[in-house]
Amino acid sequence: MANRYFSQYLLNKGVLTPENAGEMLAKSLNVTPELSVLALEKGLINSEQALELAEAAGFIRAALGKNYLTALQLDDLKKAVPERSACLGQVLLDEGVVGLSELAKLFEESAAPDCHPVETAVHDMLVSWNADANDYGYIKDYVELFLGALQRFMNTDALIIQGDNSDGVDTTYLTYQSMGGALQLTVGCRMNGDVMLAMAKRFSGEVLTDVDEMAIDCIEEFCNVLNGLYIVNMSGKSQDMDLDMPQTVENGEPGGDSVFQLRVETEFGGFVLYLSMDGFVFEDGKPLHW
């Protein structure tokens, strides 16, 4: 089974790039993985076997003939709901980015117990910002929880991108929330209307057509759920925290000391995630609430 954060692993390895990551994730929505890719993703065949089968006339006949897969395993693969990693793997094959054997190795390597793609990406970002990774462990913990929440509540693959994180990301609305107590932390997502609508529809399951009060309520409720999970996790580390009410502003870019920003790419578009232990400062001193 591939890593839960397989797309982040691919970006860290350079298989995906900051320029094509969003496009590749979007394409993965509209593909049906072949049986060979499903078998690789689930670890039923290895890279050497994959190479043999890729050179065979027919995958099913060859897999059965070589006793690499049983008829029952093949039947289960046909009925399985594909994981996001398998869909992305199929896109990489279709686009000629990797071959079947290379894809097998990527699945295998990402599944290793010591492979932590999000932790690696955040660590590299902190180093590039000349920040001590040991002093900002909360960023790693929060970002991993954030990406997991997008997978769980938005039913989407997602990754974070290093470099100029806001480059090419159209942003209009900022929804943010502060947490206090043992650890002071303010987090926010800045996005355009299309991305906000996509997130609101996926989170609520409702048909929404405009960025209105209901759409904003959906994003703010997502923040409540996500950050509620975070403070529960922190309480398990004997750090009690509480939540302020989430806020949404239009055309507000958070500033201040020690504001970290990360570019997030999903299947439905990109946005910017902000984190700060000192809170957000806006140009006029206070945000204009929606």
Strands 241-243 and 158-161: unpaired
Q: Per-residue confidence at 289, pLDDT binned at 50, 70, 90?
A: very low
Instruction: Note the pLDDT of residue 60.
Output: 87
Instruction: Note the pLDDT of residue 46.
Output: 85
Instruction: Note the pLDDT of residue 163.
Output: 57
Per-residue pLDDT tens for 17-73? 999 999 999 999 999 999 889 999 999 988 888 888 877 778 888 889 999 999 999
DSSP string, 19-80: TTHHHHHHHGGG----HHHHHHHTTSS-HHHHHHHHTSS-HHHHHHHTTSS-HHHHHHHHHS
Q: How many CB atoms lie within 10 A of CB 39?
A: 25
Per-residue pLDDT tens for 160-216? 997 555 555 667 899 999 999 888 899 999 999 999 999 999 999 998 999 999 999
Q: Per-residue confidence at 288, pLDDT binned at 50, 70, 90?
A: very low
What's the pTM?
A: 0.89
Q: What average pLDDT score do residues 252-261 get?
A: 81
Percent of the chain having pLDDT more than 70? Answer: 94
Tokens of 289: 């609430």
Q: Which residues contact 260 (CB under 8 A, 6 or more apart)?
A: 125, 129, 131, 136, 139, 274, 275, 276
Rg of the chain over all Cα atoms, to the nearest angstrom: 21
Q: What is the mean pLDDT of the chain?
A: 89
